[in-house]
Chain A
Amino acid sequence: MGGLTLDNVTMAYGPRVLFAGVCAQAGPGETLVVTGANGAGKSTLLKIIAGLVRPEEGRVRREGAFGYAAPDVHLYAELTGRENLAFFAGLRGLADDPDALLARVGLPRGRGGDLVGAYSSGMRQRLKLAVSLLGEPPLLIWDEPTLALDAAGGERVEEILGRHRRGGGVAVLAANDPVEADRWAAGGVRLHIGAA
C-alpha cells in the first residue's frame, strides 16, 4: 500500500525561499492537502513530492507507484485520447482498458477517438486524470484536479477520491478553493504555505 513521508523539505529559487523544513506524513487512506496563495509554491511542492523537482534540502519517501496530474503538464495534442492512454500505459507496461478509464472520468466514448488538440480544456483535464489513474496507483498526486471542470466533473473527482481513500490509497492534493480544500482535508492533514 502507498505511503508518503516528507522529511525536512526545503525549496528555494535563488534568494527566494518557498518553504523550509517541511515535515509531513500520510499513510494509507489519508490525504494531504496543500493550500496557499497563487505563486506560494503549491505546485512546486507537489512536483517535489512527485520527484520532478529536486528539493534544495530534505527528502521525500514514497512507497509504490503514483499517478500525477497538474495544470502545466500536458498530454500529446497530436494523439487521440485513447492513443494517449495507450501510449502511457505501454510505457509503463500496464494493460488498462482505455475505455473503462475514459468512462471513469466521464469522457464519452465517442470522444476517445478524437485528437486531444480538439478537446475542450475540461475534457483535457478529465483525460489527464484518466492518465494518472493508469495502473490504479496507491498514491495520487493531483494539482488542482477540478480546474476547468464543470459541476459533473467535480463530482467525478470526489467520487474517484472517495473510492481511492476507501481502498487505502494516499492522496496529495493542491487546491486553490478553500471550500474544496476543507472538504478534501477532512480526516487528513492540511499544509498551508503562507506568509510568516
Chain B
Amino acid sequence: MELRTRYAVGAVALFAVTTLVAVSGAVSGTGVRSDVKAALLWIILLFAALSGLSRAFVREEEAGTADALRLAAPATAVYAGKWLFNTALVLVVEAVSVPLFLLALPPETVNFRLLIGVLLLGGLGLSGAATFVAALIAQASAGKSALFFIVAFPVLMPLLLLATQATVGVFDAVPAHHARAVGDLGVLAAYAVVMTAAALMLFGYVWHE
C-alpha cells in the first residue's frame, strides 16, 4: 500500500539530488579532503532520508487508520512493515545519491567493498533508529516535523560519526584509516542490530496505550 504513495520516494530522491547539486556547486571537487567529503556524503544522506522517513506513522494517525491497524495486527508486524519500507527508502536514496556524489566530488580512491558495507549497515541503522523516532513523534500533538529532527538527531549522532569515519577509510588510501574503517563496520552492524532490536521491543509500549 505504501507503494501507492510513490510521491514519497520521488520527493526524497529529489531532495537528495538537489542538495548534492547545491553542495557540489559550492565546493570544488579536488580541493576537499577526504574526511570532509565523507562527512558531506553522510550529511546529505541523513537529511534526505530523514525528510522521507518522518512521515511513516504520522500519516496513519492523521488519516484515522491507525486505530484500525492497532486492532487488526500485532504491534511487531506493524513496526516491521514500516521499518522494511523505510529501509527500502533509505537504500533507494543511497543508490541514487552516492553515484552522483562520486561523480560530483570524486575522492582519491574508492574502496567499493567497504563502500557497499558502510552504505548497507549505515542505512540499516539509519532506518532502524529513525523509524522508531517516527513512531514516537507520530503521537505528539503539535510541531511534528521539527520535533522529528530534534529527537532523531542525537540518537543518530553515533551512527553519523561512525559512518563518516568509516567512509573516510573508503575514500582515501591511508592504511590506518582503512583498518579502522573495517572495525567501524563491525560497530555499525552492532548499532543497527541494537537499535532495531530496541525499537522492536519498545514499539509495543508506544503503539498501544
Q: Do chains A and B touch in the complex (CB under 8 A)?
A: yes
- B71 engages A53 (CB within 8 Å): no
The 3 closest A-B pairs by CB, nearest first: A74-B64, A54-B209, A91-B73
Could you list which residues of chain B lie within 8 angstroms of chain A, going by C-beta atoms?
A: 1, 4-5, 63-65, 67-68, 70-73, 77, 208-209
Could you list which residues of chain A lie within 8 angstroms of chain B, going by C-beta atoms?
A: 50-54, 68, 70, 72-79, 87-88, 91-92, 131
Instruction: Identify which of A51, A77, A79, A88 contacts B72 (C-beta below 8 A).
Output: A88
Instruction: Identify which of B64, B68, B77, B208 contacts A88 (C-beta below 8 A).
Output: B68
**Sample of 16 further A-B pairs with CB below 8 A, known A53-B209, A75-B68:** A50-B71, A51-B71, A52-B67, A54-B209, A70-B67, A72-B64, A72-B67, A73-B64, A76-B63, A77-B63, A78-B1, A78-B5, A88-B68, A91-B77, A92-B72, A131-B68
When C-beta atoms are compared, the residue in chain A nearest to B77 turns out to be A91
**B14–chain A nearest beta-carbon distance, Å:** 22
Query: What residues of chain A lie closer than 8 Å to B1, measured between beta carbons?
Result: 76, 78-79, 87
Question: In the bound complex, what is the Cα–Cα distance between A87 and B72 (angstroms)?
Answer: 10
- B64 engages A52 (CB within 8 Å): no
Query: What residues of chain A lie closer than 8 Å to B5, measured between beta carbons?
Result: 78
Q: List 28 A-B contacts (CB under 8 A).
A: A50-B71, A52-B70, A52-B209, A54-B209, A68-B71, A72-B64, A72-B67, A73-B64, A73-B65, A73-B67, A73-B68, A74-B63, A74-B64, A74-B65, A74-B68, A75-B65, A75-B68, A76-B1, A76-B63, A77-B63, A79-B1, A79-B4, A87-B1, A88-B68, A91-B72, A91-B77, A92-B72, A92-B73
